[in-house]
């Protein structure tokens, strides 16, 4: 079974600075997807960024980028130019690409990010 | 945009009651999921469904059942609510290799 570990329960960053959230995972599969989701205090979880394991290039979405190290099974999220609206709980998630199990996702425990003005 | 709607935002029930949590999605997604979210434990999968009338147990199915009579609707049932089922419940839907789309969540309190 896959596991996802987020070792930082809480992180804080000064507005306009950069912060990196860590995520490691364990799997025996070679093809899979990794995601970062954001859950603001209003509670609805939304997708931040996704990475396909077969792609070597790190995904980027505006101020959000990942550092995907497949061999090390590491998938960190970097937030540049942090904004107050980035304050939220962030979840790292793993999803198999296989047809079995409907591609169910495994989540880490989450990292609560505080942005200081 | 995909919309996943959970019928209740807050729910208070008594121990032993049968509780229904409803979830509807509007994007014809095959897959639907029920997660439970507790502080420090992340999201834990209760049940999921990959087609109408098809269901599979997740990691913590005990005390729960589900129903999927129509593709757009996925219901979570607490047969006899207990205080340890007090939690935030999140419904999600997706295509097979796509990200999850979540509802707003239902905060259930069992007294």
Q: What is chain B's length?
A: 111
Helix (H, G, I), strand (E, B) or coil at B84: helix
Report the pLDDT value the prediction gives residue B39, as an integer from 0 to 100.
87
% residues pLDDT > 70 (chain A)? 97
% residues pLDDT > 90 (chain B)? 82
User: Confidence band (pLDDT; 50, 70, 90) for A66?
Assistant: very high
User: For A6-15, A73-82, B90-99, which range has the lowest pLDDT when averaged over its residues?
Assistant: B90-99
Position A113 pLDDT exceeds 90: yes
User: Confidence band (pLDDT; 50, 70, 90) for B111?
Assistant: very high
Helix (H, G, I), strand (E, B) or coil at A84: helix
User: Confidence band (pLDDT; 50, 70, 90) for B34?
Assistant: very high
Q: Which of B29, B42, B102 to mutate to test the interface with A (most CBs of A within 10 A)?
A: B42
Contacts of A37 in chain B (CB under 8 A): 99-100, 102
Find the closest chain B residue to A10 by CA distance. B40
Contacts of A6 in chain B (CB under 8 A): 42
Contacts of B53 in chain A (CB under 8 A): none
- Residue contact B42–A109, C-beta within 8 A: yes
Two tokens, residue A43? 């509670």
Interval A83-111 mean pLDDT = 88
Report the pLDDT value the prediction gives residue A100, as an integer from 0 to 100.
65
Position A83 pLDDT exceeds 70: yes
User: How many other CB atoms sit within 10 Å of the CB of residue A104?
Assistant: 21
B96 at A interface, C-beta within 8 A: yes
Position A110 pLDDT exceeds 80: yes
CB A1 within 8 A of CB A104: no
Report the pLDDT value the prediction gives residue B88, as an integer from 0 to 100.
95
Contacts of A43 in chain B (CB under 8 A): 88, 104-105
pLDDT in tens, A11-62: 999 999 999 999 999 999 888 999 999 999 877 999 999 999 999 899 999 9
- Give the best-scoring range by mean pLDDT among A43-47, B16-20, B37-41: B16-20
Task: Name residues whose C-beta falls within 8 Å of residue A7's C-beta, 6 or more positions apart in sequence.
Answer: A22, A24
């Amino acid at each position: 079974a896959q596991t996802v570990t987020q070792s930082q329960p809480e992180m804080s960053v000064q507005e306009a600075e950069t912060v990196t959230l860590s995520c490691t995972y364990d799997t025996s599969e070679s093809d899979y997807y990794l995601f970062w989701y954001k859950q603001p205090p209003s509670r609805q979880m939304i997708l931040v960024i996704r990475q396909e394991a077969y792609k070597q290039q790190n995904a980027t979405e505006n101020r959000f980028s990942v550092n995907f190290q497949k061999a090390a099974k590491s998938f960190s999220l970097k937030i540049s130019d942090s904004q107050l609206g980035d304050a939220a709980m962030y979840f790292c998630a793993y999803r198999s690409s296989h047809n079995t199990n409907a591609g169910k996702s495994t989540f880490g425990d989450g990292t609560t990010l505080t942005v200081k003005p | 945009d995909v919309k996943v709607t959970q019928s209740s935002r807050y729910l208070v029930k008594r121990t032993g009651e049968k509780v229904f949590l409803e979830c509807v999605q509007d994007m014809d997604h095959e897959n639907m999921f029920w997660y439970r979210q507790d502080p420090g434990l992340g999201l834990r999968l209760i049940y999921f469904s990959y087609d109408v009338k098809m269901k599979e147990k997740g990691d913590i199915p005990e005390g729960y059942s589900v129903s999927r009579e129509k593709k757009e609707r996925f219901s979570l049932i607490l047969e006899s609510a207990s205080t340890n089922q007090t939690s935030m419940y999140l419904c999600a839907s997706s295509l097979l290799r796509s990200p999850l789309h979540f509802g707003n969540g239902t905060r259930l309190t069992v007294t």
